[in-house]
Amino acid sequence: MEGVIRRVIAPLSAVVVAGLVAAGVLLTGSDPGEPSEPEPDTFVIGQFNMAGGTTEYGDEGNTAPDALAEDVKDRKAAFLTMQETCQDWDERLEDRLPGYTVLFSPVDNLERNPGTPARCHHPTDFGNTIVFRNGLGFDKDDTDVHQLGSTSGDEYREMVCVRSEPRKLVVCSAHLTPSGGDYLASRKREVATVQRILTSRYKDYTVLLGGDINDLPLSGVLDRLYHPDYGHGARGAFKEASGPCLDAMKPERRAAQLPRARYAPCRSGQPSHSKGKIDYVFVSPSVRVRSGTLSHSEHSDHKQVWARLDLPATSRR
């Protein structure tokens, strides 16, 4: 009897479905002959200045990289951009992170010994770092180190970038000259160089930039990075993944507030350092920002910046 029921229901179901389609009721599905739009990839990216050049945190030994390795594992991060890193810390970090590659890029002294690597507070080379999870198309051979044209400060400021050619994705780490009137001209030049490189050398890539920019969100220096939709003089090309508005770039209305405080500036946010908010994650506008947070670290005077992002499907060809 069961076999008979099945044979009767199947033809009836086909007739009903065909009728619904003909009547225009079932129009929500796509043509099975056409490929569906691929879903975006969701990744966690972090940004962290490890403070290896400071007297207070620069000689903490392996406790600093060991703690950071646990943070990366807990958050299942895909990428981490870092500054003021130390070569021995990076070697320890890679040892504690199976399945990841740790790319260390030393920087040179600017004033004391030009042409020689800058040093951490303990005796090892000092620089910038990118950590990336293996299997995403990145290779150390696809690394670029860009000089930012520093004119003052302790070391030449650089931006290190690693490319995933299969995904047309580039991740960069940058550390700019500290804030202060004496260094303003150098920092302006560095930001202009960062903008030019990201929008020319990597114009066909989805960009993820993490950095200790050493300036506040509303500074005119950062106008060159923020997308014009952020206002306040912004004329850059990027969305900030570490801001209070997350995926939005335009200010949001707050009806409950007085008219003078009607808009919450998207160029703002919680301090990442005692000097204010100076650590950032910038991304291409096509990247969707799902969430962002700051996390305290006992081993640095900077907080960790974390963001959860949807990368566009074009970044994983």
Banded pLDDT at 201 (limits 50, 70, 90):
very high
What is the predicted pLDDT for the residue at 2? 45
pLDDT at 59 over 70: yes
Mean residue pLDDT of the chain comes to: 85
Give the DSSP per-residue string, the chain: -HHHHHHHHHHHHHHHHHHHHHTT---SSPPTTSPPPPPPEEEEEEEEE--TTSTTTTT-TTHHHHHHHHHHHHHT-SEEEEEEEEHHHHHHHHHH-TTEEEEEEE-BBSSSSBTSB-B-SSSSBEEEEEEEETTSSEEEEEEEEEE----SSSB--EEEEEEETTTTEEEEEEEPPPSSGGGHHHHHHHHHHHHHHHHHTTTTSEEEEEEE--S-TT-GGGGGTB-GGG-TT---SBEETTSTTTT--SPEE-TTS-GGG-EE-SS----SBTTBS-EEEEE-TTSEEEEEEEE--TT-SS-EEEEEEEEPGGGG-
Contact call for residues 296 and 303 (beta carbons, < 8 A): yes
What residue ranges do the domains of the chain occupy? Answer: 42-310
Reported as a single tens digit per residue, the pLDDT across 276-301 is 999 999 999 999 999 999 999 999 99
Q: CATH homologous superfamily for 42-310?
A: Endonuclease/exonuclease/phosphatase (3.60.10.10)
pLDDT digits (tens, 9 = 90+) for 112-134: 566 788 899 999 999 999 999 99
Looking at the chain, list the stretches that DSSP marks H as alpha helix, in order from N- to C-terminal side.
2-22, 63-75, 87-96, 184-200
Specify the pTM. Answer: 0.83
